[in-house]
Amino acid sequence: MVKSQRVTIQDVAVLSGLSICTVSRALRKLPNVSENAQAKVSDAAAKLGYKPSSAASRLAGGSTGSIAIVAPTATAWFFAQAVEAAEEVFGDSGFDTVLVSLRGRPSVKQKVFGDLLGLSQRVDGVLLLNVDLSESEIALLAASGLAVASVGMTSVPWDNVGIDDRHAAWQATSHLLELGHWDLAVLSGRETQENSVLTAGDRLKGFGQALKDHHLTVDPDLVVTSNSTIDGGRKAMNELIAHRSLPTAVFADCDEAAFGALMAMREHGMSAPKNVSIIGIDDHPMSWFLGLSTVAQPVADQGAFAANLLVDRLQNADALNEPSNHFLDTKLIERKTTRRQR
């Protein structure tokens, strides 16, 4: 069954009584192969347990059968989720998944251009998750010949899927406003090169828009910038409590920051929604646990969707349709950290 000696295309050719060339074409389901030949080849291949050598295939100009996923990190909930979903799609489509975690190093560029354009020899395509790329980097990638797709990126010349961050923030903020809150603070993620939280800006805009829709204006003193982490949220909330005025409600632009805020409150003997209402964005599994109101975004779906788009491009290289940009729906989930302001 499991042969120690490699089964090559040659063996299949001999068994099926056809030439290597025909076998190669049949295996890849190229046109100009008779049904007869096709059948013979499939049979022979199955009987022999033939598996093409990706190395040979690649070397000869074919595909590598693998796709790279590039993410800022693999540990954060969002990315772990998206990576796994994408990996599943790739696996099911017969691709190996090569994981590249940037880990917030300064060598992002080097990774992308040293390895990634170096990667172009090893993978057929790249799935970018929230990677912060410069104009020129985008251009280079687009010209690399690699199939590219992304999650959570905007104005890129390839398929992208994400959520409407402005809208999500608007939803969260509007919820607060509709509960009668008008004194709002926002915990806004920093837009850094390193951590590539590309979404923070849009979310802040959505917050502003919601206020505007209710004829309110943003109080700059209640916009506190923080890292999109538990600790970042905690520090930001402490800042708010200690050095600024306490609003009646807080919009954290991601759930992890909201957790931190919750924690900071607890440290000051306060709790939500008793003293302050709090809402986040994400619907992290812990949010349910903590009763955090939030705007849910489909994470695995985004990864899977983008992965499918990429696989489609790879498999139907002929259909050269325009790059598409998809927005998945977000949904307000009201739990226990927000309540009506009396």
Partner DNA sequence: GGCAAAATTGTAAGCGCTTACACTCTTCTT
Partner DNA sequence: AAGAAGAGTGTAAGCGCTTACAATTTTGCC
Interface residues with a copy of itself (CB under 8 A) are: 2, 6, 51, 53-59, 64, 66, 69, 73-75, 77, 80-81, 83-84, 87-88, 91, 96-101, 103, 113, 115, 117-119, 121-122, 140, 230, 259, 263, 285-286, 289
Which position among 39, 46, 59, 143 is part of the footprint of DNA (CB under 7 A)? 59
Where on the phi/psi map is residue 180: left (φ > 0), alpha (ψ -120 to 50), or beta?
Answer: left
Which one of DNA, a copy of itself, none interacts with residue 341, CB within 5 to 8 A by kind?
none
Which residue lies nearer to DNA by CB, 18 or 304? Answer: 18
Applying CB under 7 A, among 14, 29, 36, 112 the residue interacting with DNA is 36
Residues binding DNA: number (CB under 7 A): 29
Measured at the alpha carbon of residue 141, what is the angle toward residues 137 and 147, in degrees to the nearest 5?
A: 155
C-alpha span between 131 and 108 (Å, rounded): 9
The distance of closest approach from Cβ of residue 286 to a copy of itself in the complex, given in angstroms and rounded to an integer, is 6
Q: Is 8 in the site for DNA (CB under 7 A)?
A: yes
Q: How many residues does the chain have?
A: 342
265-284: which residues touch DNA (CB under 7 A)?
none
How many Å apart are CA 236 and CA 230, to the nearest integer?
10
Complex with a copy of itself: residue 54 or 192, whichever CB lies closer: 54
Please report how close the Cβ of residue 17 comes to DNA at its closest, in angstroms.
Answer: 7
For 208-266, the DSSP string reads: HHHHHHTT----GGGEEEE-SSHHHHHHHHHHHHHHS---SEEEESSHHHHHHHHHHHH
Instruction: Give one DSSP letter per residue of 43-59, joined into a string.
Output: HHHHHHT----HHHHHH
Tokens of 339: 């309540």
Q: Residue 46 or residue 59: which is nearer to DNA going by CB? A: 59
Report the distance separating Cα 251 and Cα 189, nearest Å.
11
Comparison of 121 and 155: residue with beta carbon closer to a copy of itself? 121
User: What is the distance between the alpha carbons of residues 190 and 201, in angstroms, rounded to a whole number?
Assistant: 8
What does the binding site for DNA look like in residue numbers (CB under 7 A)? Answer: 6, 8-10, 17-22, 24-25, 27-28, 31-34, 36-37, 50, 52-53, 56-57, 59-62
